[in-house]
Structures are given as structure tokens and as C-alpha cells.
Amino acid sequence: MAVMFLLFAGMAFAGCASSAYTKSCSECSFDDNGKMNQTCYKAKQAGGTTCLATSHAIMSAQYAAGKCPQIDACIESLNACKASLATGNDKQDCDSRVLTSCFDVADACVDKAGPQCGETPLLESCATGPALIMLIGGFVFLSGYAKKE
């Protein structure tokens, strides 16, 4: 039960870009040369973009209005990282998880850009309150459960 809770908590706080990449690696097919199905990859990438737009709504609106160039810097950094670390074989890249770090850094870049683009920091936002309370409450519950055994 504790493992399930920690898994859920990790998923709740996972970054959009990293999550989209992980989903593409696990859900998209690969051809005989290790090339990922591009239609599937683009669909997962679009899901990551939607995740960013909903989890960083103010920043997304600012970016759409041309008022958040920090996002372009994050995208450029992600593309440079992928270009420098990718082997050319998507299957190998997914299996080795070497590119995961690129997407993790991109998520951190977006989070850092948020306040500069008018976004409320994560811990101060109202949407985080319930998730944080659930995380703390679950920890307290599991601590009490562990003491009973």
C-alpha cells in the first residue's frame, strides 16, 4: 500500500515533458531500426504541451502573447540536449533512459520560468493545496498503519 501511495505521489508531481517522453517510450511502437512511430510520438508530445498549458495557464497565455521568451529558451535547451545525447535509435534511447534527463531539465526550466512569466509558484498556488494535503495526509495515514503492524 505504501508503494502504491508513493507511486501515485510521484505521478502527481511528475513534469509534463518528462511524463510525455516516458509515455511515448512505453506506449509507442518502434520499427526494426529502432525508430519510434512518429504519429504516436507527436500525439504524446501534444499531450505534454496540453499538460503544460493547463498546469501553467498564466505562463502559457503570456507565451502565446509573446511575453514569455524564457519558454523559447527552455525549448532550445531541450532540443540541444536531445541532439547531443540521442543515438539515432529511439528504442535504445528509451531503454537507456539517457534522454530522460533532457526532459527533466526542460521541466525544471519551465518551472523556473514560471514566476518570470507571471505564474504563481507551485507551493503558493491554490491547486497545489489539495495535492499537498493529500500527500501529507497519506503519509500520516501510512505512518499510523505501519505502527499497527
Mean pLDDT in each 10-residue stretch from start to end of the chain (149 residues)?
35 73 97 97 95 92 94 96 96 93 94 90 50 50 49
Q: CA-CA distance, 133 to 114, in Å (whole number)?
A: 23
Copy the grid coordinates of residue 57. 495557464
Three-state DSSP state, 28: coil
Q: Which domain holds residue 129?
A: 2-148
What total of structural domains would you count in the chain?
Answer: 1
What pLDDT is attached to residue 127?
A: 47
pLDDT score for 119: 86
Element (H, E) at 119: none
Give the model's pLDDT for residue 130.
52
Which residues is 30 bridged to in the sheet? 36
pLDDT value of residue 88: 93
